[in-house]
Amino acid sequence: MPKKLARTGNSLALVLDRQILAATGIDATTPLEISTDGDVIVVSPVRSIKRTERLRKVMGRAHDRYAGTFKRLAE
């Protein structure tokens, strides 16, 4: 979905459609993290530290259990 930036004072703003906000669970009070690789801009909701740690534990268990499978798939 192509978009253009809108001028807001001395800044530029990106207006996001309601459907995109609903699909991502973002609203006006959601803190956002903005990052880039120099080419792509990524906007994502800030996740809690507790949620991030829980995800790391799950990923660690999956790695411990399936590391050999992951390696074979990568080859």
Place of tokens 């207006």: 15
What's CA 33's distance to the chain center, in Å?
Answer: 8
Residue 39 is which amino acid?
A: D
Q: How far apart are the first and last CA of the chain?
A: 35
pLDDT at 48: 78
- For residue range 17-69, what is the model confidence (pLDDT) as tens digits? 999 999 988 999 999 999 999 999 999 888 878 877 888 899 899 989 888 88
Q: Is the pTM of this model over 0.85?
A: no
Is the pLDDT higher at 74 or at 12?
A: 12
Name 15's Cβ contacts closer than 8 Å, sequence gap at least 6. 3, 6
